[in-house]
Amino acid sequence: MARMARRDAPGAVHHVLLRGIERGRIFLDDADREDFLARLDRNVFEAGAACLAWALIPNHVHMVLRTGQRPLSELMRRLDTGYARSFNLRHRRSGYLFENRFRSICIEDDAYLRVLIRYVHLNPLRAGLVPSLEALAAYRWAGHAGLMGRQRRGFHAVEEVLGWFGGELGVARAALICWMREGMQTAGDRPLLPAPASRATKGQSEDAPGPRAALERAGGKLSEVRARELRARGWTLDALIEWVCAERGIDAGRLRRGGRSREESRARAVIGYLATRELGYTVLEISRAAGVGAGAMSRSIRRGAVQVSEEGLAIPLAPAPG
């Protein structure tokens, strides 16, 4: 299936994910991390871009970037190509370092953006790289330390982010800490990412539970907004089934007839999760379309919440195929 064109323009905000190939580590030591951040700093400056959030995990990177005058694709190409060459030279290896091209999704909802930034900064804590929120405030390899005044990275738009929490610095940081603590209580959902990604390796790349549940508990209307937008572009349950199956090379007819292979089951889980959370279909409607009982579909949807993040799959805000 042809790749969708990226949505980009000066001022557009993107959640960017960069993963190591075959679940491999992309940071072996602090020298690697400093090299990556120095390159990020230089490329963000040269592109006139801004970084609102970032976190380095052993085999992937999360960033929230606002595009400048140069396209996001150019910024990322310079960043990952230069870093991969340096990494290979330092560690006497050859071949690809990153999995395919980077993944990104354009963020158009301000409420979701705030929760997404919190999600990114909580990743090291939820991945077990630091033991507490207090330790995260001093952790060199994520943006929360910058917001708390414990480090300064030129690429990080600290003042802008803190401005969302208060006009006075102390007040803003106190409000931010409360906001982060609220986020630590959410553990049932993950953010959507736009393109297939490799399965996480236990203990290395576990993505933290994401922001959508927290947003909806707080009264956010993102699901309803996305459902209306997606349905207006022709995304029905049938279209979703066809798209997910095509992405995975699975026969959609066989899945609808109740196929039980591992790949069919995984596709069904993703379909169930996206159909409920993004399109507003009921479990009964999805189970009938996907060839399984309602009880089995409910269990599948719970698995799909994890798979959507691990596989980086989201319904694109573009006309449905076909």
3 in a domain, yes or no?
A: no
Q: What pLDDT was estimated at residue 211?
A: 47
Q: What pLDDT was estimated at residue 157?
A: 94
Q: How many domains does the chain have?
A: 2
| pTM metric for this prediction | 0.62
Q: Give the model confidence (pLDDT) of 2-43 as tens digits.
A: 333 446 678 889 999 999 988 799 999 999 999 999 999 999
Residue 285 near residue 279 (C-beta atoms within 8 A): no
Q: Are residues 212 and 242 in the same domain?
A: no
Q: What pLDDT was estimated at residue 8?
A: 67
The torsion of the CA quartet 91, 93, 96, 102, rounded to 10 degrees, works out to: 0
Residue 212 reports pLDDT greater than 60: no
Q: Are residues 17 and 46 in the same domain?
A: yes
The tokens describing 188, both together, are 């049932």
Q: How confident is the model at residue 311 (pLDDT cuts 50, 70, 90)?
A: low
The sign one gets for the Cα dihedral 237, 242, 243, 244 is: positive
266 in a domain, yes or no?
A: yes
CATH (domain of 233): 1.10.1750.10
The sign one gets for the Cα dihedral 7, 226, 242, 16 is: positive
Q: Are residues 88 and 197 in the same domain?
A: yes
Query: Roughly what angle, to the nearest 10 degrees, separates helices 294-311 and 262-277?
Result: 90
Q: Are residues 226 and 78 in the same domain?
A: no
Q: Are residues 157 and 47 in the same domain?
A: yes
- Strands across the sheet containing 103-107: 50-57, 60-66, 13-19, 103-107
Mean pLDDT of all residues in 195-215? 40
Q: What pLDDT was estimated at residue 2?
A: 34
Q: Give the model confidence (pLDDT) of 140-175 as tens digits.
A: 999 999 999 999 999 999 999 999 888 788 889 999
Annotate 270-315 with three-state secondary structure: HHHHHHHHCCCCCHHHHHHHHCCCHHHHHHHHHHHHHHHHHHCCCC
Strands 103-107 and 13-19: antiparallel
321 in a domain, yes or no?
A: no
Q: Give the model confidence (pLDDT) of 97-154 as tens digits.
A: 998 778 888 887 777 788 889 999 999 998 899 999 999 999 999 999 999 999 999 9
Q: Of 216, 243, 274, which residue is a domain's last? A: 216
Q: How confident is the model at residue 224 (pLDDT cuts 50, 70, 90)?
A: low
Residue 109 near residue 222 (C-beta atoms within 8 A): yes
Q: Are residues 111 and 242 in the same domain?
A: no
8 in a domain, yes or no?
A: no
Q: Can you give the residue range of the structural domain that contains 297?
A: 222-311
